[in-house]
Structure 1
Amino acid sequence: MQETLHFSSSSSFSLPKSSISPPKSFKSSTISYPQHPKPPTLISTTPPTPTPQNFHLQEKLLFLDSLGVDSLHCLSSQPLIVSSSLSDLKSVIDFLYSVNLTILDVRRVLHMCPEILTAGISTTLRPAVTFLLREALVTGEKLPGVLRRRPRLLTKCVEKNLRPTLYFLQSTIGIEDVSKCATLLSCSVETKFIPRLDYLQRIGFSRRDAKVMFRRFPSLFCYSIEENLEPKFDYFVVEMGRELKELIVFPQYFSFSLENRIKPRHKMCVEKGVCLSLPVMLKSHESRFRDRLEVCCSSSMPVAECKVQTANHYTVESS
């Protein structure tokens, strides 16, 4: 018998609950979106309000720059510029002009000695100039040249520095016209002059002869003992085999370069078998020196050249 299946009208077709319910993982999960980054904190670009001190310093630096002076160099070398007023700086510049320094001179002296900018005009600068003109007898025409070479003279105290140095050069050394070596007036007698005077005596010169050497060549006071005098003297005695009296006659020997002038020319003389006096060997231009060597080589008695030249130049002054 065929079995027939009947669906009642009240029955309905339904899927199992498990088939329509979302998975548990879906129910418990939530969709999260990444958070927007916080906007960056805005930094104010408004420049800080300048303080009166900074403003005045900028004014002073701009003033120096307008003259072509290296203001940063001056400031780093002489911090007292910070406490100086702009009017004081202008007064110093005007004073430098009043002693006939040009703008180029001003740039040079301030680069060499920025301390001038903070030196008092009435207490330091003007007394120094007055001393140079009235006591050291530097002429007004030569004064700018002296200051260009040694601007530190303007910062020295007349009583403590300049006048004692002048008296030492005049009375102890015997230099009559100190104006010709006025740049030495800024040097210290104790730390500069006396040690060099003592050194010459230690290496064999009498005190009288040492003074003669300084009178003939006052710039000798400026040379370093360790870097100049010692190596040149050692070469003179050991390698050249010369006598001390030649240095008394020609102390300018120490002003020539040991490596570039003294050694090369001495070696050339040795190779040619010629002995020249120190002035002839060192003072001549290269071409004239070589010509002199050739003349001596062609003569029958080249060694006599040294003796004749030395005899002609060797006159020792009395102390």
Structure 2
Amino acid sequence: MEDTLLHSLSNLKPSPFSYPKPHSFSWHHHDHFPALSRPRTLHFPTLSSKTNTISLPPKPLKTQEIPSIYTPRPPQSRSHEPPNSEFQEIMLYLDSIGLDIFSLINHHRPVVLSASLPNIKSIIDLLTSMNFTPQEFRRIISMCPEVLTSTPSTVTPVITFLLREARVNGSDLKHVINRRPRLLVSSVKYCLRPTLYFLQSIGLEEVKRHTYLLSCSVETKLLPRIQYFEKIGFSYKDAVSMFRRFPQLFNYSIKNNIEPKLNYFVVEMGRDLKELTEFPQYFSFSLENRIKPRHQCCVEKGLCFPLHTLLRTSQEEFISRIDVCCNSSVPLRSSPLYSVNCDVDSSTSTE
């Protein structure tokens, strides 16, 4: 299936796409744009209500610098912003395929200005040849507008890499790209392949299940997180083990997620760091909505559950365990019912 897909990409031809016709509206004669039968005025962020024309910034914008981990854009034939007529044509086309042009202009104007209509149409042809629906394409653009500046010649190597090196099944390719559209604009040589080798080197099996990590930089994102856990007392082996057990941990912010939860774990809960090596999923739970309330409930009842029991169980199961431990006699540790009816630490139970 992968070979068939790659063959179809290499022989890509523009494919029909059932986009609605652009919403029509009337422009002044000096815009040289035909007025159609059903007028509709598009109010772009820079549209003048008096002249009904689009005013671009007087000075050309500097070319946006792209990190080396992303595929460089092909050189542009123009050193300045596109003329009004071309910009209007791009906006009409993007609007006709259902994209939110107001959001694109407000938040990603440099990207839109550096794109060309032929490139935009060619990338749409590529994605539709891979059976992406218009709705999926709109979602991809909203998450990664830089796709508008890419071309089939820059995207096809990414698809080939995912299928042949990352071992993604052809039937899963759409899901992989929908989950992480930034893969499409990442450099195979400087980002995707080095990250793949790094994940394999730490023993992460089946990287194809964690392709969302492939667009991450090893130097600026992956390694710093491992080094952070080393600095706070984990050995390199234990730190790597945590990420191997729970690769999603690579995507968590150190300042906003890992650090506050770690401080609460050590200071307020007073628990052993070794528990985190066995249950790194601890960092995936909400500090305010799950960790604190359940820990405080256990403190009030004089109980101490293992981390996985404390956090993974549903609210109903958690309350049931609390009720069993507080309102019934606690089985002896030697009893086979101990771990089932009252999974608590021996220091808090009375035998």
The structure with the larger Rg is 1
CA–CA distance in 2 between the matches of 1:191 and 1:84? Answer: 28
* Contact map agreement 1:89 1:117 (CA 8 A) in 2: yes
Q: Provide the residue aligned with 1:305 in structure 2.
A: 343
| One of 121, 129, 148 as aligned partner of 1:98 | 129
CA distance change for structure 1 residues 187 and 299 in 2, over 3 Å: closer, same or farther?
farther
CA–CA distance in 2 between the matches of 1:104 and 1:47? Answer: 33
Do residues 257 (structure 1) and 286 (structure 2) align? yes
Q: Provide the residue aligned with 1:8 in structure 2.
A: none
Q: Provide the residue aligned with 2:4 in structure 1.
A: none
* Contact map agreement 1:60 1:86 (CA 8 A) in 2: yes
* Contact map agreement 1:78 1:115 (CA 8 A) in 2: no
Q: Provide the residue aligned with 1:5 in structure 2.
A: none
Would you identify which runs of 4 or more consecutive aligned residues in structure 1 move more than 3 Å?
80-85, 301-304
* Contact map agreement 2:269 2:295 (CA 8 A) in 1: yes
CA distance change for structure 1 residues 242 and 96 in 2, over 3 Å: closer, same or farther?
same
Q: Provide the residue aligned with 2:176 in structure 1.
A: 146
CA distance change for structure 1 residues 237 and 299 in 2, over 3 Å: closer, same or farther?
farther
Higher helix fraction (1 or 2): 1
Q: Provide the residue aligned with 1:89 in structure 2.
A: 120
CA positional deviation for 1:51: 6.8
CA–CA distance in 2 between the matches of 1:164 and 1:203? Answer: 27
Q: Provide the residue aligned with 2:204 in structure 1.
A: 175
CA positional deviation for 1:272: 1.6
| One of 82, 104, 120 as aligned partner of 2:151 | 120
Any idea what SS the aligned residue of 2:166 has?
coil
CA–CA distance in 2 between the matches of 1:102 and 1:296? Answer: 53
Q: TM-score, normalised by structure 2?
A: 0.70
CA–CA distance in 2 between the matches of 1:50 and 1:81? Answer: 20
Please give the root-mean-square deviation of Cα atoms over the aligned residues, in Å: 2.1
Any idea what SS the aligned residue of 1:142 has?
helix
* Contact map agreement 2:176 2:211 (CA 8 A) in 1: yes
The C-alpha deviation readout for 1:34-90, integer Å capped at 9, x for no partner, is: xxxxxxxxxxxx946127932222222122112211123334515343354323211
One-letter amino acid matched to 1:305: D
Flag structure 2 segments of 5+ consecutive residues without an equivalent: 1-26, 34-82, 332-337, 347-351
Any idea what SS the aligned residue of 2:271 has?
coil
CA–CA distance in 2 between the matches of 1:66 and 1:103? Answer: 11
CA distance change for structure 1 residues 195 and 306 in 2, over 3 Å: closer, same or farther?
farther
Any idea what SS the aligned residue of 1:305 has?
coil
Q: TM-score, normalised by structure 1?
A: 0.76
Instruction: Give the total of aligned pairs.
Output: 261
Q: Of the two structures, which has the highest relative contact order with CA contacts closer than 8 Å and spacing of 6 or more?
A: 2
Flag structure 1 segments of 5+ consecutive residues without an equivalent: 1-45, 309-319
CA positional deviation for 1:189: 0.5
* Contact map agreement 1:78 1:114 (CA 8 A) in 2: no
One-letter amino acid matched to 1:283: R
| One of 182, 206, 216 as aligned partner of 2:235 | 206
